[in-house]
Structure 1
Amino acid sequence: MDCVLCREDGGDVLWQDDTLRVVLASEPDYPGLCRVIWNAHVAEFSEMPVAGREHMMRVVSAVECAMRRILQPIKVNLASLGNQVPHMHWHVIPRYSNDAHFPLPIWAPRQRTVSEALLASRRAQATLLRDAVRHEVEQALA
């Protein structure tokens, strides 16, 4: 089996432990989009050990908290699809009323064009997530 999330980090690693990693994804329309990726290849959430599921959701929640504090989106979307990459991971997505797809999911047809200036500003803010994610995860797991 050739799995991209087994083979590659999936983004810039912000935090990791032996079981999972938090990455800042390279998504041009969505600076700050993070993924929480289970390290072992598991396709479904129910295939994970109970303690692993609980650990993962604590980390997902901590990433959301960091994102809300640093990026101040109007909404955070959480999604675990796996249709294209059947490896357990959660998308933690900052949403804004003027993002490219709002109010639809980010995988829906584009609703508008977002200026490069606004995206550059959001990219600059997203650089602050590394320390914020580390702090929130460490608190959540303490």
Structure 2
Amino acid sequence: MRPEFKPPAAAVAGCPLCEAAGGAFLWTGGPWRVVRVDDASFPAYYRVVSNHHVTEFSDLLAPERQQCMDLVCAIERVLLDQLRPTKINLAAFGNMVPHLHWHVLARFDWDSHFPQPIWGAKQRDVQPAATSRLGIELAELDELVIAAVAAA
């Protein structure tokens, strides 16, 4: 049974990552949660999200920064081992949603935007659907991600 997202007591009104999980809520531990983004074009797309309204990585204490990177690396390793993607993309912008979160997503040379960023211009149509090209069910991938971040 997956945990249920509960907004933090110090949630900032109007912040989408304070008010909602930010994707399919998979795991939470201390100051972090892990979600899978629901995007059919990029199904192996996860986020590590701060459970507190923090805007900059440098606002964190050193142990929190280390734990964040451990979680990012754990997800990256699962994606590399299970999917053998062309590349893993990591990003933490915060321009649209100024709440600290890291994007971790597997990219493939066949995906609709590769080699452009997923926020860039579409390069091609993808048939069949991206989820059917992964070689693993998303539920199974999620379970592997959960196990990896729980052990991180």
Is the partner of 2:129 in helix, strand or coil? helix
Query: What residue number does 1:69 align with?
Result: 81
TM-score, length of structure 2 as denominator length: 0.85
Is 1:121 matched up with 2:132?
Answer: yes
Instruction: Give the number of aligned pairs.
Output: 139
Segments of 5+ residues of structure 2 without an aligned counterpart are: 1-12
In the aligned structure 1, how far is the partner of 2:129 from the partner of 2:46? Answer: 19
Residue 88 in structure 1 maps to residue 100 in structure 2: yes
What does residue 50 of structure 2 align with?
A: 38
Q: How does 1:38-57 map to 2 (within 5 A)?
A: 38-57=50-69
How far off is 1:32 after superposition? 1.4
Structure holding more helix per residue:
1
Deviations 1:49-90 (A, max 9, x none): 111111000000001111112222111010001110000000
Structure 1 unmatched runs, 5+: none
2:14 matched to 1:14?
no
User: Of the two structures, which has the highest relative contact order with CA contacts closer than 8 Å and spacing of 6 or more?
Assistant: 1
Q: TM-score, normalised by structure 1?
A: 0.91
CA RMSD of aligned residues (A): 1.5
Question: Which runs of at least 4 in structure 1 moved beyond 6 Å after TM superposition?
Answer: none
Q: Select between 69-78 and 4-13 the one with higher mean Cα deviation.
A: 69-78
- Identity, % of aligned positions: 40
Please report how far the alpha carbon of residue 104 of structure 1 lies from its aligned counterpart in structure 2 after TM superposition.
Answer: 1.1
Of 117, 120, 125, 1:108 maps to 120
The one-letter amino acid paired with 2:62 is: V
